[in-house]
Chain A
């Protein structure tokens, strides 16, 4: 494949990723928070994917290289786009849900004080309150009187998929060792 055609594929990928980020950030900002962070990431993905597909279609009509080569690089571009979106998803999600980032923020807020003061500002109760609120608004937990009951099974399915992946990648011995 000619460097010119590869350059065109690279430009399409960069444009799709830039558009993903723009759509994601603006969808939260312009909706005034009505679109949640996780949903906005999927909205951004859809926007970027449209740009990628349109760009690849435009290259296919003009490219000088073989059709099969263009198709393969187009598929490589799609995989690269999904990989980059996955990094971006985690980058944005860490800012929203990471305990480490919140601990850093609270340490900055309490300024220089003994470690025990950190627990006054941020402790397990705060973690649970924040998480339960998020799970309730996502519909993954539902309130039944004063009980918190399971709602949509999305996180259960993700947890089961991760358990399966742990079994495949780390082996049964590693899982048994972690459980003990």
Chain B
């Protein structure tokens, strides 16, 4: 029971703390700070569980295996929250198309849908981000992938090869 309580209670406590903190002032590097708080809480829990006196005082899980299980559960819920939080900040083109079609009340022509987007926002901003992240580089000859970018791409392309998918999404 303690595994479940600590595994879920720890990330939920951090989420509540984050909601209160963000209401006061939302930091500019919010994802990095949120990840840091979640990770620190996890380390604090593991360190606390080392002290024998703390086990009963704070109703911590008993034994290394239980602590490891609670920490794994806590880490998984934390990462799930981070992925969802990151998704809240991204604009999905598909969602924008569907919402625009709904708001149009009669439907949209293909050209009108294209007018909702710009190459700058949806292509060049991503290129800039990936150049800054070291996945691509631009020099006088042109644009090319770095080894980091190739590795990053291959990680996501491998399941597509296993599934035998030939068309490209995006």
Contact = CB atoms under 8 A, between A and B. Distances in A.
Interface residues of B, number: 74
A53 to B, nearest CB: 18
Contacts of B153: 101, 104-105, 108
B95 interface: yes
A112 B26 contact: no
B69 A122 contact: no
B110 A148 contact: yes
Contact of B109 (A76, A125, A147): A147
Which of the four size classes fits the interface of chain A? 35 or more
A107 B163 contact: no
The DSSP consensus for interface residues of chain A is helix
B41 interface: no
A10 B76 CA distance: 14
Interface string A52-71: 00000000000000001100
A76 B156 CA distance: 29
B22 A171 contact: yes
A113 B109 contact: no
B88 interface: yes
Given A80-B76, A95-B157, A169 B97 contact: no
The DSSP consensus for interface residues of chain B is helix
A118 interface: yes
B99 A128 contact: no
Contacts of A6: 65-66, 69
Given A101-B156, A149-B101, A171-B23, A83 B164 contact: no
A87 B160 CA distance: 16
Given A100-B130, A104-B135, A171-B23, A150 B170 contact: no
Interface stretch (B42-50, B51-59, B142-150): B142-150
Contact of B107 (A33, A98, A147): A147
Nearest to B76: A83
A149 B106 contact: yes
Contacts of B152: 104
Contacts of A7: 65
Given A6-B65, A25-B159, A130-B170, A115 B138 contact: yes
Contacts of B88: 162, 165-166, 169-170
27 contacts: A33-B164, A33-B165, A72-B3, A76-B3, A80-B72, A84-B76, A86-B83, A87-B83, A91-B159, A97-B94, A97-B169, A99-B122, A99-B123, A103-B123, A103-B130, A104-B135, A104-B145, A115-B127, A115-B142, A119-B119, A127-B123, A128-B114, A132-B97, A148-B109, A155-B98, A170-B22, A174-B22
* A-B interface, 10 closest residue pairs, ranked by CB to CB distance from nearest: A102-B170, A147-B107, A149-B107, A83-B76, A95-B156, A3-B65, A28-B163, A104-B153, A72-B4, A96-B169
